[in-house]
């Protein structure tokens, strides 16, 4: 579905974009964008359809947004696909999402490779169906040499659980004697997170109208700019992405310091 969609007039890609990036400052593109893909169920309900129809459409939206982000020059997208709390949903919905993930990770490999997308995963594998784990491993293997945008799919992910597992493995290393307690600093801690090696998100996007973090990348979003829209995720378009980045570019990032006014 990607083919032909992003022919762009962008000076970066020398193709023709179907959305307008002319207002963007190409020297200030967020490197890493985190997305809480919310509103699938409400979107489906508004159409008189079952919730799972919204997830199906949401997966399509993700494809479109990854391509748009890549064309704009974003280096990484972290998308919240399934949280550690989502197991509390009805079993039919959980099964549908697992099946959707499994199908997505099968059908999209070729697209990922054609578009130079490297797929990674954030989250715990514990409790995931073996078939999903198999597809995850396959996606990692098949796309690991791609050098374009990184797509981090957060599956069975919780920010608090991520921090706890980092603490546990650091404590274990200290106990084993391979890590000195006095050497535990921010860098060591971040090296034990699922996002090790990646810059922290500059921008967090939440569609669907709720103003919550929902346990997503708690450590990593310490200084992320937050942008929300009432638009449900299945209706989210590259134009919304551009709008979010424009808002980001209008923010003054101080990282706790002061910016001197001239
Ligand atoms: C939140 O919407 C969405 C989820 C919990 C799942 C997100 C899943 C997808 C976008 C599809 C799977 C992804 C891939 C990559 C195959 P919600 O169900 O909470 O919606 P609501 O707030 O309207 O109820």
Question: If pLDDT is split at 50, 70 and 90, which confidence band does 16 have?
Answer: low
For 120-166, how does the pLDDT look when each residue is reduced to its tens digit (9 = 90+)? 999 999 999 999 999 999 999 999 999 999 999 999 999 999 999 99
For 57-91, how does the pLDDT look when each residue is reduced to its tens digit (9 = 90+)? 999 999 999 999 999 999 999 999 999 999 999 99
Question: If pLDDT is split at 50, 70 and 90, which confidence band does 15 have?
Answer: low
For ligand 1, what atom is nearest to the CA of residue 93?
18
Which of the listed residues 35, 58, 98, 122 should we mutate to test ligand 1's pocket, taking the one with most ligand atoms within 8 A of CB?
Answer: 58
pLDDT at residue 246, as a whole number: 97
Q: Percent of the chain having pLDDT more than 70?
A: 93
* Cα distance between residue 158 and residue 177, in whole Å: 29
Residue 25 known to be catalytic: no
Which of the listed residues 60, 94, 97 should we mutate to test ligand 1's pocket, taking the one with most ligand atoms within 8 A of CB?
Answer: 97
Question: Of the listed 20, 23, 28, 38, which one is catalytic?
Answer: 38
What are the CA-CA distances from residue 1 to residues 6, 76, 130, 150, 153 (Å)? 11, 21, 28, 19, 20
Residue 185 known to be catalytic: no
Question: If pLDDT is split at 50, 70 and 90, which confidence band does 206 have?
Answer: very high
* Cα distance between residue 158 and residue 156, in whole Å: 7
Q: Report, in angstroms and rounded to the nearest whole number, the Rg of the chain calculated over CA atoms.
A: 19
Ramachandran angles phi, psi of 98, nearest 5°? -60, -40
Greater model confidence, 66 or 252: 66
pLDDT at residue 139, as a whole number: 98
Tell me which residues have their CB closer than 6 angstroms to ligand 1.
37-42, 55, 58-59, 62, 81-82, 86, 97, 100-101, 104, 153, 208
The whole-chain average pLDDT of the chain stands at 93
What are the CA-CA distances from residue 216 to residues 17, 149, 204, 241 (Å)? 31, 20, 10, 19
* Cα distance between residue 25 and residue 64, in whole Å: 21
């Amino acid at each position: 579905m990607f083919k032909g969609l992003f022919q762009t007039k962008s000076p970066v890609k020398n193709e023709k974009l179907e959305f307008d990036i002319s207002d963007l400052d190409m020297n200030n593109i967020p490197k890493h964008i985190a997305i809480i893909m919310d509103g699938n169920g409400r979107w489906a309900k508004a159409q008189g359809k079952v919730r799972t129809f919204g997830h199906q459409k949401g997966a399509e939206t993700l494809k479109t947004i990854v391509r748009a982000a890549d064309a704009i020059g974003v280096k990484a997208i972290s998308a919240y696909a399934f949280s550690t709390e989502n197991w509390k949903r009805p079993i039919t919905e959980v099964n549908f999402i697992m099946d959707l993930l499994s199908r997505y990770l099968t059908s999209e490999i070729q697209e990922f490779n054609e578009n130079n997308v490297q797929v990674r995963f954030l989250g715990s594998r514990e409790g995931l169906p073996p078939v999903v784990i198999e597809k995850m491993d396959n996606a990692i293997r098949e796309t690991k040499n791609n050098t374009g945008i990184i797509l981090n799919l957060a599956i069975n992910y919780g920010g608090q659980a991520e921090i706890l597992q980092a603490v546990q493995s650091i404590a274990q290393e200290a106990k084993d004697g391979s890590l000195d307690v006095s050497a535990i600093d921010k860098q060591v801690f971040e090296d034990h997170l699922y996002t090790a090696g990646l810059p922290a998100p500059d921008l967090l996007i939440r569609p669907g109208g709720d103003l919550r973090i929902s346990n997503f990348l708690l450590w990593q979003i310490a200084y992320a700019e937050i942008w929300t829209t009432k638009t449900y995720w299945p209706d989210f378009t590259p134009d919304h992405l551009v709008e979010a980045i424009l808002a980001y570019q209008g923010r003054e990032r101080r990282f706790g310091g002061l910016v001197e006014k001239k």
